[in-house]
Structure 1
Amino acid sequence: MTLVNEPEPVYWNPVKACLLILSLTTHYICELLFIVGSGVYARDIAEVVGGAEISSWCISAVTILTAAFAPPIAQAADFWGRKWLLVVPTFLGFIGSIVVATAQSMQVAIIGFAIGGASFGAQPLVHAVASEVLPRRHRPYAQSTVNSSIGVGAIIALTFGEKIRALDWIGFLLFNAGLVTFCVGLSYSQNPFPWTNAHLLAPFLTGVGILAALVLYEVKFKKDGLFHHGLFQHRNFPIAVTAVAIEGLVFVAASNYYPFEMATVLAGRISSFRVAVCFAVAFVALFAIANVVGAYIHRTKTVRGPAMASFVGFIIFGAASASIKSSTPEAHFWGFVIFYGIGLGTCLITLLTTAQLATPPELISITSGLMASMRSFGGAVGVAIQLAIFNSGLNSNLVPQVTAAVEPLGLSATSIGPLIAALDTENRTLIQAVPGVNQEIIEAAEAARTDAFVLGFRDVWISVAAFAAFGIFICYFVENPKTEFNSKIDAPLEGTARVRELEKPHVSIRDDASPAAMSAVSE
């Protein structure tokens, strides 16, 4: 007789798992509506409640709060489970949405976005839960499902007090304090302070110092904290973290400036609703490409090619957007944004799958948390960098462009400043009240102003393309984790005695087994 150990069986409930993933996608849909609205509609909110000069803080509040809350929530989920750490932050998103919807001032709207931004702290759990309830070979499908809509249970044998002590409180404090002050400093760049101003330098340098202290603490003194050393055993994880930060930077650039530029270039010829529909085409492309990419990764067991391809899409989008002029027709905007959607739909799926398969299963929550946090960190830094680039390009061209356009038409130099200020209000009564203006001068000034804005936008898109090129470079070094695409389920939904029984090694008896051996086995 010969005893044969059969492969370990895998049992999972596809219906139950799919229903759970469906509920997670609704969470992501709400997040998508919230964060895109914070960028696309910030200026529309300002038109109603005022405060246009601080409208950039709408999306900054969301990205900063996401980066601040994602890591601690992700680590806490390994001690207390996923459920309530998904439910409570999601409820904050509900409250934040109501605050924004009923805001009577831009300050209150920003508070609403900040409250809603706290709900994004649960974002890593969406990715973690979606992946860990399915066989590993199906993870690309899980991530594509989550992103097309755009757990490891609590640690056993720990008491409540031990769980509290196990959290990396020092790391959380340093990370949050450093991130917030760093981003606040960057956000002040050219908005309105120059780099030599103490209002900018104080928070910026403080943030740099705190983040440097965080690096020292996590490297030398805390090996199992916020940046668990087990996460960095494979080169794919640090590459994925860096790449997703670049993706976050591209995301906020597109959300902030693409609708803005379209509305500026096509002013008077297009409605804000049509601008929003055009930008929504990117997410239609995301939905279409996400499932294709998920299937491709599943079939080929490769991630390097899709990762590089996603940044190629971003480069094309950035380069095409940089070519926009004041005479660019509307149809071009509808075409360019598709490349952004293709890059977006490919990037997150690939990078999250890459990161999760490069780290130990018991650290999947922290893995997803750091990915979400670094994406928001890239977005927060991107907001500040892009705002500084845009303001620099606009301010250096606006007055010269308008002056060159209206002085030959007879407008005095003393009226140029008031005319530019009136143009910014888009109030025809104020514009016509500027001394010495006529319809010809107004039209020339508006055209020159549009040209100056286009130059500011162009510099932003050039920076986006440059960062995307760096993304291609680092993704070239990603290693395809082909052996990790298997049928193992890290946290099966049916975690019961039935599963434990199924997971026991089975013993089968070949036909040539002797009666004595069969009797021994049956006993």
Structure 2
Amino acid sequence: MEEKKESQQIEFSKGGNAGDTENQHPDDDAEEFHWNLPIFLNLLALFACYFSSTWALIVPSASIPFIVARFPQQARIAAWIAASVSIPNCVLQALMGELSDILGRKPFLITDKRPMLQGIAGIIAGLASIAGPIIQGAFIKHNVGGANEGWRAGFYMSAGFFAMTLVLLVLFYHPATRPSAEGGMSISRRILEIDWLGVFLVASGLVLFLVGLQYGGNPYPWTSARVLCTLIIGAVLLISFGFYNGFIRKDGILHHALFEHRNFAICQVLSFVGGFVLFGGQAYLPQEITNLFTRDAVLTGVYNLPFNFLSIVGSFGAGAIMGKTKEAKTLVVVSFVLFLVGSGLMAVMQPHINFAAWFFPTAIFGIAVGASTLVLAVVVSLCTPNEYIAHAMSLLASSRAFGGSIGITIFEQIFSSKEKDILPGKISTAVLDAGLPSSSLEEFLIGSEHGITSALLNIPGVSQAVLEAGSSAMVQGLADSYRFIWYSLIPFAFVTLVLAFFLMSTKAQMTRQVAAGIRH
């Protein structure tokens, strides 16, 4: 069988832009695409990757309040649990795309099927995001492995899912040779051609800068040498990376061919802000639920259902609509309108509201995250030359993870600052009004910070009424602190909403071309 038929691929001319329809073969000339068992097996392996990766992303964030209960002395650095996922994700994605383009990881589906398949992938990931918190909650509630140890079971399951995925990838994932911008260059030569200086600059710069942001104010002061050195050195390295890839190395990590189409750069910014909500929401929604509504581990997973389930609906719905209309711009604009609406509604949340009142803002966020994540991925794959698709998709994921890392840091700094400002005043007013002697106030505030009720009862003047007043005031103070997180998201959502209007149409790019086939 000829190589062309074996891979079912249509190549772009070297350096061609996927956004330029003159570089594409018309649909009538495109080789006919057929669904068959090898394609379904390839998809099975890839969807297993989606499931296991999403589980590993969701379960740690959903477990944060319960990990803190096991290690209360380390509560101030709980944000690192979420950051430990987003920071490596951000750094490694910048390199993985280029390596996968060289060593072999390519789309093998025709371009007009991408929205549908991306939608199905979103459903698979959504199932993990729904099942993960509830299953993990059951482990925690029933103290699997011991008191306050149930959260470990979800991590063990994650290891099992990754092992299963590895087997499926080895057995079934066999993409054909990618379209290559380097012609017949050997793999070893291509590896030597990788932008290793750019890799060093961006990896070291991102790690230092993001670690500095996480350190700042918690646990170290912003003016400390540890924070300033990591921030400044990281920023200098990132600026150097931008200068190097902008003016010296034009075929590096930020390959200039990727930016020939306007949609690519716009999607990077939009994905950055989407990461704010995706990673920040996953880190802080479970904490807001446990502090304001319920400490039942299973119910915490249930309260997360609107966000997680509607992200499936948003992903699949956006895929179906885009597959029908072949237009992405309207979907992106609507997604960021929903970000704005969701932020505003989350900012007015009050303790002890019913589930219906919680459902709508988190559901709106879920639809926005699911739709925007899918549509931006499809847009980037369409506006990128075929030989750089993996590279482009990795940069998109890196932008999202970078936004998530920044978002988690911003959210943590805002929440910690407001908590320190709001809680003491609210608790003091409430307990003094309930009859606590002023001489016992300082001791009561210190005890409240540690959350040990039995110790509070030993403080002179503390009654059940004082405890109830202090508890209610603390919950209200936490609610008032959380709302500033959502206030901070509003300006970012507004700016990106305006930017979304500058996206170009995708109709001309939604063809029946095959970017690269599979090996039979």
TM-score bracket, normalised by the shorter chain, equals 0.7 to 0.9
Q: 1:464 to 1:411 in 2, by over 3 A?
A: same
Identical aligned pairs, as a percentage? Answer: 25
Q: TM-score, normalised by structure 1?
A: 0.80
Offset at 1:65?
A: 0.3
- 2:348 counterpart (323, 340, 344): 323
Amino acid at match of 2:286: P
1:13/1:493 contact within 8 Å kept = no
> Which digits, 9 at most, give the CA deviation of each residue in 1:191-248, with x for residues without a partner?
1334333332221111111110100110111111101000000110010011011011
Offset at 1:490?
A: 0.9
Q: 1:318 to 1:8 in 2, by over 3 A?
A: closer
Q: 1:15 to 1:344 in 2, by over 3 A?
A: farther
Offset at 1:338?
A: 1.1
C-alpha distance in 1, partners of 2:417/2:176?
A: 48
- 1:45 counterpart (43, 54, 67): 67
Amino acid at match of 2:33: Y
- 1:146 counterpart (121, 133, 143): 121
C-alpha distance in 2, partners of 1:68/1:435?
A: 53
Q: TM-score, normalised by structure 2?
A: 0.81
- 1:231 counterpart (255, 258, 261): 258
C-alpha distance in 1, partners of 2:229/2:119?
A: 42
1:248/1:375 contact within 8 Å kept = yes
1:325/1:454 contact within 8 Å kept = yes
Q: 1:351 to 1:52 in 2, by over 3 A?
A: same
Q: 1:415 to 1:253 in 2, by over 3 A?
A: farther
Counterpart in the other structure of 1:306: 331
1:21/1:146 contact within 8 Å kept = no
1:57 aligns with 2:80: yes
The 10-residue stretch of structure 1 (298-307 or 281-290) with the greater mean CA deviation from structure 2:
281-290
1:332 aligns with 2:307: no
Counterpart in the other structure of 1:178: 205
Counterpart in the other structure of 2:414: 389
Aligned residue pair count = 441
- 1:365 counterpart (371, 390, 405): 390
1:246/1:471 contact within 8 Å kept = yes
Counterpart in the other structure of 2:476: 451
Offset at 1:49?
A: 4.1
Q: Which residues of structure 2 form unaligned runs of 5+? A: 1-27, 126-174
- 1:134 counterpart (109, 121, 131): 109
The 10-residue stretch of structure 1 (304-313 or 251-260) with the greater mean CA deviation from structure 2:
251-260
- Secondary structure of residue in 2 paired with 1:133: coil
Counterpart in the other structure of 1:403: 428
C-alpha distance in 1, partners of 2:424/2:70?
A: 27
Counterpart in the other structure of 2:236: 209
Amino acid at match of 1:79: I
Offset at 1:438?
A: 1.3
2:122/2:316 contact within 8 Å kept = no
Q: 1:7 to 1:356 in 2, by over 3 A?
A: closer
Counterpart in the other structure of 1:221: 248
Q: Which residues of structure 1 form unaligned runs of 5+? A: 1-5, 83-128, 496-523
Counterpart in the other structure of 2:8: none
Counterpart in the other structure of 1:9: 31
Amino acid at match of 2:112: R
Counterpart in the other structure of 2:380: 355
1:430 aligns with 2:455: yes
Counterpart in the other structure of 1:286: 311
Higher relative contact order (Cα pairs below 8 Å, separated by 6+ residues): 2
C-alpha distance in 1, partners of 2:36/2:222?
A: 56
C-alpha distance in 1, partners of 2:36/2:452?
A: 58
> Which digits, 9 at most, give the CA deviation of each residue in 1:405-438, with x for residues without a partner?
1223443445334323333433321222333311
- Secondary structure of residue in 2 paired with 1:437: coil
- Secondary structure of residue in 1 paired with 2:304: helix
Q: 1:65 to 1:254 in 2, by over 3 A?
A: same
1:22 aligns with 2:44: yes
Q: 1:378 to 1:222 in 2, by over 3 A?
A: same
1:73/1:369 contact within 8 Å kept = yes
Q: 1:417 to 1:144 in 2, by over 3 A?
A: farther
1:323/1:458 contact within 8 Å kept = yes
User: Which of 1 and 2 has greater Rg?
Assistant: 1
Amino acid at match of 2:495: F
Amino acid at match of 1:78: D
1:304/1:478 contact within 8 Å kept = yes
Counterpart in the other structure of 1:162: 189
